[in-house]
Homo-oligomer: A and B are copies of this chain.
Amino acid sequence: MSNKIVTISRQFGSGGREVGKRLAEALGVAYYDKELMSMVSEETGFATEFIEKCSESVASTQFAYTFGRAFVRYQHHPEEQVQLAQLKVIRELDKTNGCVIVGRCADYLLKNDNPFKVFVYSSDMGYRVERCFDRVPEDREKGEKEMQKKITSIDKQRAKYYDYYTGKKWGEVENYNLCIDISKVGIKKAVELIVNAMS
C-alpha cells in the first residue's frame, strides 16, 4: 500500500493520540494535530484555545442550526464556524507525502484519498480510567466513578459530532479498516499492527 494516509478515531482515554504520534514517526509522515488548530485559527480568527474546546463537541451546534434557520443572516454560531473551518482545513491538507490525523471525522472527510482507517478503543474501562489518572494525577482525588462518567460523556460528544457531520455511526466497525483493543495489545503493538496491515 503506497498510500500512507491514516486516520485514527478513538475512545477518550484509550491512547489513540499517542498511537497516532508514534505511527507518524514509524511511517515517516506528518502528524496533524495541534497544527490543525493553528490553521483553523488562521481561517476563522478565533483563538486556538476556543478551537480546541469546540473541535469535537456538537453540544451547541444543533442549537446553532435551529438558531441559524430562524435568523438567516446569522447562520453560523461561532462553534459551528470553527467546526466547518476545521472540516475545510482537513479536506484541503497537503497529503502528498502521507499523514496521520487523529479524530475530527478525518476518516470520512478524506474518503476520496482512500485512507487507512483505524479505531482505537479499550474493552476494559479500568484501563482508560487509569490512563486518564496518569495524565492528570489530581483527577485521581475525584474517584473512579466520576472519571468513568467524564469518559462516557466525552465519548458521547465525539459520537454526536461524528454522527452529525458524517451521517454514520461512530465506533461502528464498517467505518474502519482495523479496530484495536488497546487494553489487550498495548500502544507499541498497536502501532506495529497498523504498519503491518498497511504494508
Stretch at the interface among A79-87, A92-100, A145-153, A180-188: A180-188
**Contact of A185 with B181 at beta-carbon distance under 8 Å, contacts A173-B173, A196-B192 already known:** no
Interface of A: prevailing SS: mixed
Contact present for B116 and A175 (CB under 8 Å)? no
A26 at the interface (CB under 8 A from B): no
Query: CA separation between A189 and B178, bound complex, in Å?
Result: 12
**Contact of A185 with B179 at beta-carbon distance under 8 Å, contacts A173-B171, A193-B197, A196-B192 already known:** no
Number of copies: 2
**Contact of A179 with B189 at beta-carbon distance under 8 Å, contacts A116-B184, A184-B116 already known:** no
Query: CA separation between A175 and B173, bound complex, in Å?
Result: 12
Contact present for A123 and B179 (CB under 8 Å)? no
A57 to chain B, nearest CB (A): 22
A116 to chain B, nearest CB (A): 7
A119 at the interface (CB under 8 A from B): yes
Contact present for A181 and B184 (CB under 8 Å)? no
Interface residues of A (CB under 8 A from B): 116, 119, 121-123, 171, 173-181, 184-185, 189, 192-193, 196-197
